[in-house]
Structure 1
C-alpha cells in the first residue's frame, strides 16, 4: 500500500496533481499486477493536512511505540529508543502536588547524602505502582525501561542508601504528608480506620530474638533478668521483650510456615492511607492500636473517632482511645464476647433500615458505651446457607459412628477438631457418641447476618456508627491492593530497616494511587493502562539529541486535567552537539 500521484492537465494547460491511496493486486487472468485505488485524497494543493496527521496518529496507535517512532522519524534523524512516560509523569505530578518532594529536599538540606535521594525514592515508589519488582530489577527498570524526570542512571547501592534514609525520616515525612494531603484534598478526617495484616518472607529461618520495647523498637541495652517474651496486655510500664523482627506468628496470608512481620495501616474515610507501621511478626493485635493512638496524637489533630475491628476491643485499648477527647467505634465479638455484649444481643427492639439494605438498632444496657446491633438480611441468608453446608458435611462424617469403638470415635473427633467450622457444631455425649449440637445451631441461627458495635461517642447517630464501621472495608481494600497491585509480599530484604523502608515505599505508592482514583473515578488498572500508552521518543542527528513525547490522546488529556497535573512538554530534553 502506498500513496500514488496522478497528474491531469486542464484546458489551459495547467498541471494538477492528485494524491491517491493505492495498492497493487495480481491479475491472474492477465498474468500481471494492476494498480487499485483505495481512496482519493483530492488535489495536492488543497490537501487537508490536519486530517492526514490525525490519520497517521491513528494508524500509529496500531503499532508498537518503538516501531511507530522508527517509521515516523524526521529525515536526517536516527531513532534511539522509546520509553513509557505517562504513568511516571502523572505520579510525579501528584508527588509534587502533595509536597512530598519539598519535604524530602528540606530534610536533605545539610546532609552528606546523594542529592538525588528524593528522585531515587520517587523512582522506587513509581516502580511499586507501575511494575513492582525486586530492587535489582527495579534498578534496571529505572535505567532502561521508563522515563523519570531528573533521574537517568542509578545503581542498586544508591537505592539501598535512599531506603535507609527513608526509614530514618519516616515520622517527620508521615506527619508532613498527612497535613499536605488533608489540606490539599480538603479531606474530612473525623474517622480514622485502623487494621493490620501480615506479610511473609521466602525463608525458613526467623531472626534471632533481640531486646525490644513494647512497640517493637530495638533497645540499645541488652535484655536483663526482667526480659520476657510475653505481651503486656495491661499496658503498665515498659517491659523489655526478646523478639526477632522476622518471626513466626499468626499468619493472615495463610503461610504459617514462613517468618513474617505485622503491618498496620491508618486510613481516612476517603480511603487515603495516612500512615503505616511495622512490628515483629509475633506481635498480637490487641496492643497495637494504642501505639497508633499515641503516634497520631503527636500530630495535634482535632477530635477523631478511631474505627477498628474486633481484635482491638480490649478494655485497655478502649481506655487508651478515650484519652485526649478522642473516641472509638469497635466491633464486638459475638460468640465469645463480654457479658455486656451478650446482654445487648438479648434485648428486644425494632430495627431501622439505613443504606445498602443494612438495619440497625441501639440497645441501652446501662454501660458508658453505646451498643448498636447491625443486621443485613442478605448476609443472614448467606450465613444460613454456609451453616447448612457445614452441618450436612458433619452429619455425613459422623453418620454410623455409633457402631465404632470409643477409641475410633475419639480419633474421628480429633480430626474434626482441626476443622473449626465443623467442630463448632459437634457434640460428644458422656458415653463418647458423636452428635450434631442442635442447641448450638439454634444459637448460631440467632446470629445470622448480625454484628455488634461498641461506640464511645454520644453525638453519633446509630446510622452514622454503622456506616462508619462499614467503611472499615477501605482498609481491607488497601491491603488487597498492597498485596495484589503493589506487591507488598513476599519481601526479599533481610535487614530490619530495609524491611521497614519497603513497607513505606508501598504505602507511598498506595497513597498516590488512591489520590488518582478518587480524583478520576477510575480504577488504577484502567488509569495505568491508559497512561502507559504515552511515550517519550529519543532521536539523534548531526545537530544533537532530543527527546519528545508522543501525541496526547483525549482520554490522557482528560486524566491530567482531572488530576490537576500539567501535561508533559512536547520537547523534554535537547542536547546540542559540539
Structure 2
C-alpha cells in the first residue's frame, strides 16, 4: 500500500521522523534561541524551596487532617480555603521558625514557598484561622487524637506526659481565663497563691505516645502542683481509650525533687532521669551492680538493677551519645593539656591563678589534678572514670508493669522533643505584645507542627534538620511566557526518592502547575 496523502492520522513512523528532525535542529541552536523557539519567549522568573513543604503537606493529607479541619470548619464562618491557610501556619512553624505573626506567615507563603492550593493569603486570613483554632481547641485535639491514632496504628493505651518550665509575660493567661480589659486578676496570677514568685512562669505539658508522637498540649501556671496537672490531663483525656498516663521528667525537672509527692497517688507513676555523676547512693549502687545489657533499639542497650523495693532502676547506654561523649572529653583534655603545659616553671602564685581560672570551667575542671607540691596535672583516674560513664544514664520509675526497654525508650522521648520545648517557650516569649488568643494559638500550631515533624522523623530515623535540608534541595522553578505560566520542579536525586518513599509519599510531579495569565 502506498500513502498518497496523509489527512491527519498520527502515523507512528512519521512521528519518529519528526523527533529525529527536531533533535537535529536543536544541535545548531544555542540555549537562548532554543527557549525562544520551544516556549514562545519563556522566561525563568522565580525559584522557591519545595520539597519540605510537599512532604509536610503529604503527611497532613495522609493523616486526614485536611478532611478533619474541613468538617470542623463548617461549624464556623471560615472561608473554604481556611484549611490551606491552617496548613500554611503549621508548616511555617516547622520551616520558617516559631511564633511568626500572621503578617510574616502571609509574606512567607506569598514570597518564599509554594503551598499547593494556596497561591496567596493575607494577614487577616491567618489571624481569623488562628482565632478559630483557639475556639475549638478541646474538640480539635480529640479529633486529631482519634484520627492520628487510627491512621498510624498507635499504641494509644499509654501516654507519656512531659512538662517544661519557662518564663512568660504576665499578660498571657491560662487557657480559658482571659481578661482582655485588664479588669481583675485572671490567668496565671489568679491561680497562683499570694506571694508566689512563679506567677509569671509557665508549665507546658505534652502527651506523647510511646513512639514519640505528640497528641495533646496543655499550659499551666508555673506554681501548679505536679499531681494536679496529671489529674487534669487524665480528666481531659477521659474517653480517649487510655489506660495509663505516666509522668516523664528530665534530670533537671522539679519532679525529680518531688518524686515522693507524685507517688502518693498510685495512679501517678513517673519515669525520672537521675544523674550518674551526682555521687548519690542510688547512682553508686546502680553502677556497682553486675548484669548483662539487653538491646532495646539499634543504638540503645538497657540493664535493670534492683536497689529499692518501691522503685525500679534501669541503666541505659546510648552508643551514639557514648561516641559524642568520648569526642568531647578528648577535646577538653587536649585543651587542658595545652593550658597546663610548661606550667611547672611558673611561680606558685601564677599557677594558683591558672588553677582558679580552670576551676571556673565546669566541664574542664573535673580532669584537672593539683599535686601536693602545687603542680597542675591531668587527672588520669578521673578520665578513666568518665570513660566508664560514656553514653550511660540512670532512669528510675515506680511503674511495676512497663518493661525495662519501654522505660528507657519513654525517657528518650524527652531528648527527641526538647527541640519542640525550646520552640514553644521561645515562641511564647515573643508573643508579649499579643493577647491571650495569640498565646493559645501558638501552642496549638506548634503542637500540630511537632506532630508532623515527629511522624517524619519516626518513619525515616533522621532528625528533622537533616530531612528539611535534603528535601528543600528540591526547588520549584517558575517560567513565564506571553501565553502561560509554568511551574516545574528540579530533578529528584536517589537520596530524595528514598526519603519520600520512607515517608510513604509519591514524588511531586515534574510539572506542578501550568496556567494561562487569566488563571
Q: Give the TM interval when normalised to the shorter protein.
A: 0.5 to 0.7
Q: Secondary structure at the match of 1:454?
A: strand
Q: Deviations over 1:34-72 (max 9, x none)?
A: xxxxxxxxx98251678999x99xx9xxx99xx999764
- Mapped pair 1:352 → 2:352: no
Q: Deviations over 1:172-228 (max 9, x none)?
A: 323322321121011234463746487xxxxxxx97646967x99777743699522
Q: TM-score, normalised by structure 1?
A: 0.61
- Mapped pair 1:524 → 2:465: no
1: distance between equivalents of 2:95 and 2:348? 62
- Mapped pair 1:404 → 2:349: yes
- Mapped pair 1:453 → 2:391: no
Q: Secondary structure at the match of 1:192?
A: strand
Residue 139 (structure 1) aligns with: 106
Q: Secondary structure at the match of 1:529?
A: coil
- Mapped pair 1:272 → 2:213: yes
2: distance between equivalents of 1:383 and 1:560? 35
2: distance between equivalents of 1:448 and 1:197? 28
2: distance between equivalents of 1:321 and 1:114? 49
1: distance between equivalents of 2:35 and 2:211? 41
Higher share of residues assigned helix: 2
2: distance between equivalents of 1:417 and 1:169? 54
Residue 278 (structure 2) aligns with: 336
2: distance between equivalents of 1:571 and 1:446? 54
- Mapped pair 1:302 → 2:243: yes
CA-CA distance at 1:440 after TM superposition? 9.1
Specify the structure having the higher radius of gyration (Cα).
1
Higher share of residues assigned strand: 1
Residue 176 (structure 1) aligns with: 143
1: distance between equivalents of 2:251 and 2:461? 31
2: distance between equivalents of 1:526 and 1:516? 13
Per the alignment, do residues 572 and 296 of structure 1 end up closer, same or farther by CA in structure 2, a change over 3 Å counting? farther
Residue 455 (structure 2) aligns with: 515
RMSD over aligned Cα, in angstroms? 5.8
2: distance between equivalents of 1:142 and 1:207? 29
Per the alignment, do residues 127 and 416 of structure 1 end up closer, same or farther by CA in structure 2, a change over 3 Å counting? same
2: distance between equivalents of 1:264 and 1:394? 45
> Following superposition of structure 1 onto structure 2, how do residues 77-476 of structure 1 map, counting pairs within 5 Å?
88=53, 91-112=56-77, 116-130=81-95, 135-144=102-111, 146-189=113-156, 190=158, 192=160, 194=162, 196=164, 209=170, 221-222=184-185, 226-231=193-198, 241=199, 243=200, 266-276=207-217, 291=229, 294-295=232-233, 298-300=236-238, 301-312=242-253, 313-314=255-256, 316=258, 320=262, 325=267, 327-336=269-278, 339-345=281-287, 347-354=288-295, 360-375=302-317, 378=322, 385=330, 388-389=333-334, 392=337, 403-404=348-349, 415-416=357-358, 418-424=360-366, 441=382, 444-445=385-386, 448-449=389-390, 450-470=392-412, 472-476=414-418
1: distance between equivalents of 2:155 and 2:142? 17
2: distance between equivalents of 1:87 and 1:310? 34
Q: Give the number of equivalent residue pairs.
A: 479
Residue 45 (structure 1) aligns with: 14
Residue 9 (structure 2) aligns with: none
Per the alignment, do residues 538 and 138 of structure 1 end up closer, same or farther by CA in structure 2, a change over 3 Å counting? farther
2: distance between equivalents of 1:71 and 1:209? 64
2: distance between equivalents of 1:351 and 1:305? 27
Q: Is the 8 A contact 1:197 1:264 kept in 2?
A: no
Q: Is the 8 A contact 1:266 1:276 kept in 2?
A: yes
Q: Is the 8 A contact 1:293 1:320 kept in 2?
A: no
Name which structure has the greater RCO, CA cutoff 8 Å, separation 6+.
2
Per the alignment, do residues 70 and 299 of structure 1 end up closer, same or farther by CA in structure 2, a change over 3 Å counting? farther
CA-CA distance at 1:369 after TM superposition? 0.8
Per the alignment, do residues 226 and 194 of structure 1 end up closer, same or farther by CA in structure 2, a change over 3 Å counting? closer
2: distance between equivalents of 1:170 and 1:119? 18
CA-CA distance at 1:371 after TM superposition? 1.2
Q: TM-score, normalised by structure 2?
A: 0.66
Q: Secondary structure at the match of 2:243?
A: coil
Per the alignment, do residues 418 and 174 of structure 1 end up closer, same or farther by CA in structure 2, a change over 3 Å counting? farther
Per the alignment, do residues 440 and 566 of structure 1 end up closer, same or farther by CA in structure 2, a change over 3 Å counting? closer
2: distance between equivalents of 1:474 and 1:404? 47
